[in-house]
Amino acid sequence: MGLNVKDVIAGWNCSSMEAFYLLATILSNFLKSLTLSLLLLFRTLLPRHWFSRSSSNSSESLSLYEGTVWHERRRPVRHSFWYPVRYALYNLDHAPHAPPDHLSADQARQIASTNGQVYVLILLLTIPPSVGYVQNPLSVYYCYDVEAEAQASASTQLLKKCIAEVTNTPWGERVTFVFNPNSDLVAKSLHVSPFMDMLGNWNMRANAPGDNLYVTISVQHPKLGDYFTAVLEAKRVPSSLVSDHAMFFWLMPHKVAVWIYWHALKLWWKNVSYIQHPRYTNPAYREEASIRDHKIQCCPIIGSDKEKHLQFEGSDQGYFLDRSCEIRQFTWRKAKWPWS
């Protein structure tokens, strides 16, 4: 089915408005962050007892990590870069000051418990807001099952599942889904970059956070192959070395945003094709991503016993899906104003 010319023109007009909105929001965030940064500096110069420092959070509820994010694009042009990052790992059951705009521990348990599994420990890895600004391309929830030996005081914490919160820039749209931390293939379900189309899958892995943590995502594309990789690697920072959490994360979200925009400009300079947001050209892209992911999760089965198998709706390749397979659920959040 061909594209309607009027829809394409409307998309171009919307792109022009989005460019205007982008410049306006950058200016607004700059002024707000500058004002709050001056207040933060003023606060740090006052005697410690005048203000309660965020470092008073117990080590049980919060861990700090410092590391790097590395990106590599191999096709259609080569482009790679890395930048330093700082993350916070919250125990959501014991963190009264966990950042807003994320799932609670109970909400995360409900999303992860698709098969009746009970998760007793939920950790959230994210970059906290700083001076009025937040930027989190990826936040990860770690869902643990605690298996205690009979009548024993010690227990072994087992990382069973992870929940990814992927947020795009600058629209602020978000998709949330469960993945297997050992290794999982997930259909690309969000327009995360104007230099990537919606085809392909995310290959995701993550370890249980300890003294070190990592999260890796590679993109497997039907035409470009395994053409993109992003890796987060970080080490735990001893809490004794951080006297003030607000200063530890000062301008961290802003630095991430600068790297995103700067390397977007570099890709544009290298003549990488600009891809318009699919909501203008293919409004059904979310449903299509769900269909692709269903096919990934439920492998094709040869046979015609329709009492045991269900032909997948919308399939033109004769897929038969096992009714017992676990279907991944995506939850999308719409773009925030002024992008909505």
pLDDT digit string, tens, across residues 184-214: 999 999 999 999 999 999 999 999 999 999 9
Q: 54 or 86: which carries more pLDDT confidence?
A: 86
Q: Can you give the pLDDT at residue 185?
A: 96
For residue 76, the tally of other CB atoms under 10 A from its CB is 14
Q: Can you give the pLDDT at residue 89?
A: 96
Q: What gap in Å lies between CA 271 and CA 195, rounded to an integer?
A: 10
- What average pLDDT score do residues 112-120 get? 78
Asked if residue 56 has pLDDT above 70, the reply is no
**What are the structure tokens assigned to 201, written together?**
């899958």
CA-nearest of 85, 90, 83 to 122 is 90
For residue 110, the tally of other CB atoms under 10 A from its CB is 12
Fill in the amino acid letter for 270: K
∠268-77-10 over CA atoms, to 5°? 40
Q: Where are the domains of the chain?
A: 6-278
Asked if residue 132 has pLDDT above 80, the reply is yes
Scanning 46-164, the segments in alpha helix (DSSP H) are 105-112
Q: Can you give the pLDDT at residue 313?
A: 37
Query: For the chain, give me the number of helices (H) and strands (E)?
Result: 6, 13
**Per-residue pLDDT reduced to its tens digit, 229-243:** 999 999 999 988 887
- What average pLDDT score do residues 306-323 get? 39
Q: What gap in Å lies between CA 205 and CA 216, rounded to an integer?
A: 5
Instruction: State how far the alpha carbon of 288 is from the alpha carbons of 108, 130, 190, 283, in Å.
Output: 25, 36, 11, 10
- What average pLDDT score do residues 155-166 get? 84
Q: 304 or 267: which carries more pLDDT confidence?
A: 267
Q: Can you give the pLDDT at residue 5?
A: 42
**pLDDT level of residue 39 (50, 70, 90 thresholds):** confident
Asked if residue 176 has pLDDT above 60, the reply is yes
- Asked if residues 309 and 323 have their Cβ atoms less than 8 Å apart, the reply is yes
Q: 149 or 260: which carries more pLDDT confidence?
A: 260
- What average pLDDT score do residues 12-31 get? 67
Asked if residue 166 has pLDDT above 70, the reply is yes
- DSSP codes joined into one string, 299-334: -------TTTEEEPTT-SS--EEETTSPPP--EEEP
Q: Can you give the pLDDT at residue 298?
A: 82
Report the predicted TM-score, pTM, of the whole model to 2 decimal places.
0.81
Indicate the SS3 state at residue 294: helix
Which residues are within 8 A (CB) of 199 and not within 5 positions of it... i.e. 6 or more apart? 188, 221, 222, 223
Q: How many CA atoms lie within 13 A of 274 on its CB side?
A: 8
Highest mean pLDDT pick, 27-31, 49-53, 98-102, 154-158: 98-102
Q: 131 or 220: which carries more pLDDT confidence?
A: 220
DSSP symbol at 8: H
